[in-house]
């Protein structure tokens, strides 16, 4: 009888141990499921917040004027130099005036060399990168550029057939022969595509251009470009004469190269710290269009580089739509 009772006790302990292990297993599974559900819920909330922020930004672009200060006036405005702003929920936006970027479809060999130098691309690659880009966007059956390549070269590299017209998005550069192989163009927090645009603009806006783009100005030096960035944080630059005096440049060489007002096209980047990627839009104002006062030329995903280490330092949306009704819609300035 004692032996039977001992067996029952052991069996009971084994059953209890099995139940305990099973309970712990299912508890862990349930905890994981709850965590995944919470993450998905946060992901959906972030997507909704960025969608609401996109709608708010396009609304502001079509109802507020652009000025020397950016989107808005001296008192209330979004700066258009790619600085971050807290928007709806946990969404963060960066607005960049495309006049502060270099137009890649019309780039000169000299300007490309300057931009590639900043990205530490080997000098020996400059000519091929320029010629393959020109062959890609402006093919000429009567002309074979010295450093160009053939369709067979594209096929051998596993690249799609050349586009045959201007690039639509900066990221299309990856499809141009030789460009994707230059790793330094795509690495880091500010890849090469952050400095260029496919928008058609006249002149450069020195108030919104990053140092890499300012370096394409004729006669500019790195200290001069850095001085421009420091100066405009205190007082905005109004024209080529002021810019020339500030950076020690020849004002005659800046004629038709400088226009210190925002373009009618703005690059908008939206994302959150909880997402691995952000969405980038190119929004063009179309005040005379019958469909809408703006249009989105393109959008694509980029690696998440919206936030910065100290989120508390990020300013909030300067416009408070709920407290102050917007003024009547006006046609935005187009230059």
Q: Is the pLDDT of residue 109 over 70?
A: yes
What's the farthest any 2 CA atoms get from each other in the chain?
Answer: 111
For the segment 256-269, what is each residue's pLDDT rounded down to a tens digit?
899 999 999 999 99
So what's the pLDDT on residue 205? 96
So what's the pLDDT on residue 19? 79
Burial bucket for residue 186 (CB in 10 Å: 0-12, 13-18, 19+): middle
So what's the pLDDT on residue 8? 66
Query: Which of the four pLDDT bands, split at 50, 70 and 90, describes residue 162?
Result: confident
Q: Using alpha carbons, select from 77, 82, 76, 79 the residue that is nearest to residue 94.
A: 82
Min mean pLDDT across 129-138, 145-154, 173-182 is at 145-154
Sign of the CA dihedral with 208 first, then 214, 217, and 222 last: positive
So what's the pLDDT on residue 172? 93
Cα–Cα distance measured from residue 209 to residue 197, given in angstroms and rounded to the nearest whole number: 12
Q: pTM for the complete prediction?
A: 0.83
Contact 119, 184 (CB under 8 A): yes
Q: Using alpha carbons, select from 130, 137, 217, 230 the residue that is nearest to residue 182.
A: 130
Q: Give the three-class secondary structure for 159.
A: coil
Cα–Cα distance measured from residue 182 to residue 153, given in angstroms and rounded to the nearest whole number: 17
So what's the pLDDT on residue 4? 57
Contact 216, 115 (CB under 8 A): yes
Q: Using alpha carbons, select from 61, 107, 56, 53 the residue that is nearest to residue 80.
A: 61
**Does residue 118 or residue 29 have the better pLDDT?**
118
So what's the pLDDT on residue 18? 76
Q: Which segments of 46-142 are extended strands (E)?
A: 66-67, 70-72, 77-78, 81-86, 92-97, 102-103
Count the alpha carbons within 13 Å of 200 in the hemisphere toward its beta carbon: 4
């Amino acid at each position: 009888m004692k032996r039977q009772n001992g067996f029952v006790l052991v069996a009971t302990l084994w059953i209890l141990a099995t139940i305990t292990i099973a309970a712990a297993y299912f508890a862990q599974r349930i905890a994981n499921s709850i965590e995944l559900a919470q993450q998905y819920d946060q992901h959906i909330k972030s997507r909704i917040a960025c969608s609401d922020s996109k709608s708010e930004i396009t609304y502001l672009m079509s109802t507020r004027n652009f000025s020397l200060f950016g989107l808005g006036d001296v008192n209330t405005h979004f700066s258009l130099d790619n600085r971050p702003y807290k928007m709806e929920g946990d969404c963060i936006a960066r607005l960049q005036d495309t006049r502060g970027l270099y137009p890649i479809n019309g780039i000169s060999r000299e300007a490309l060399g300057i931009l590639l130098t900043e990205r530490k691309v080997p000098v020996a690659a400059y000519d091929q990168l320029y010629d393959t880009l020109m062959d890609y966007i402006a093919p000429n059956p009567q002309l074979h550029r010295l450093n160009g390549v053939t369709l067979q070269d594209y096929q051998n590299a596993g690249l799609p057939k050349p586009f045959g017209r201007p690039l639509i998005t900066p990221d299309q550069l990856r499809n141009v022969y030789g460009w994707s192989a230059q790793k330094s163009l795509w690495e880091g927090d500010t890849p090469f595509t952050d400095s260029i645009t496919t928008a058609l603009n006249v002149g450069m806006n020195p108030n919104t251009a990053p140092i890499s783009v300012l370096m394409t100005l004729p006669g500019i030096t790195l200290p001069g470009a850095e001085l421009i960035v420091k100066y405009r944080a205190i007082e905005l630059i109004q024209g080529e004469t002021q810019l020339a005096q500030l950076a020690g440049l020849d004002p005659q060489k800046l004629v038709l190269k400088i226009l210190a007002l925002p373009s009618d096209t703005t690059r908008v980047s939206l994302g959150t710290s909880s997402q691995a990627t952000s969405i980038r839009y190119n929004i063009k104002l179309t005040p005379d269009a019958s469909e809408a006062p703006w249009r989105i030329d393109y959008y694509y995903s980029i690696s998440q580089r919206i936030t910065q280490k100290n989120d508390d330092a990020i300013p909030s949306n300067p416009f408070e739509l709920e407290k102050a009704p917007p003024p009547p819609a006006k046609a935005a300035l187009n230059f």
